[in-house]
Amino acid sequence: MESPRVIGHRGAAGHAPENTLESFRTAARLGATWVEFDVHLTSDKAPVLIHDDTLDRTTDSDGPVDSKSLADLYSIDAGSWFAKAFAGEPIPTLDATLRLLASLGLGANVEIKPSPGREAETGSVVARMLREQWPSVLPAPILSSFNTESLAAARDVAPHIARALLVSQPGKDWANSLQALDCNALHCGHRRLTARDAEQIRRAGYPLRIYTVNERARAEELFRWGAETIITDYPDRIL
């Protein structure tokens, strides 16, 4: 599978409230062809898009995401915190997101973000929905997670969907972890990544995808080091 060169992080999180439908529309308008987003489960097991385990930072509500039902989320505003112009932007369901991606022609890196204690369950629910509802007009999705239990559960439900392990820094064990989980890529933080790390990953034959890179000069350096994909809040700066 060929990697996309640029993936919009949480949509286009530099320009619109992260992980909202408006963020995906913005990413598409800026020329992105792929987006990344984060998926949590509600108390009633609905997959919804939000980064943090709680609602506090990115909505007008508060408390743990997994203490709310899907119905509880309908009245929550996930746009105003970013700018008043986005007031009323809802927390999207994964289901609604897939329909929008199909209409925009956007590929996706779906990050499984389990609340504590719901690691395997979140991996299974997300993978099952992608297996059953991924729009056939789109390129095949990439699942990723920092959580190995979530990735293992996703593999059990949908072994054919490509999986990537997320790490903030490649430690000693990344190659063993990729093998154990049948992952075919490493998604790596850029802050502490060295040219030597990049070379080792490439030599092992894995595509290197790097987050979250918002400066063009750093992106160019990482591409020189052999990165295949840059995940960015500002797809317009990197494209």
List of residues contacting Mg ion (CB under 5 A): 38, 111
Figure out which of the listed residues 22, 24, 32, 38 binds ligand G3P, where binding follows CB under 6 A: 38
Complex with ligand G3P: residue 72 or 228, whichever CB lies closer: 228
Pairing, β 162-167 against β 185-189: parallel
Q: Contact between 51 and ligand G3P (CB under 6 A)?
A: yes
**Count of positions (residues) in the chain:** 239
Which of the listed partners (ligand G3P, Mg ion, none) does 211 bind, with a CB threshold of 5 to 8 Å by partner kind? ligand G3P
Q: Contact between 36 and ligand G3P (CB under 6 A)?
A: yes
Is residue 15 part of the annotated active site? The answer reads no
Which of the listed partners (Mg ion, ligand G3P, none) does 144 bind, with a CB threshold of 5 to 8 Å by partner kind? ligand G3P
CB atoms within 10 A of CB 5: 16
> Residue holding tokens 């239990």?
149
Q: Contact between 119 and ligand G3P (CB under 6 A)?
A: no
Smallest distance from ligand G3P to CB 99, Å: 22
Is residue 51 part of the annotated active site? The answer reads yes
Beta bridge mates, 47 = 41
> Residue holding tokens 């500002």?
234
Q: Which residues bind ligand G3P (CB under 6 A)?
A: 9, 36, 38, 51, 111, 144, 166, 187, 211-212, 231
Active site residues: 9, 51
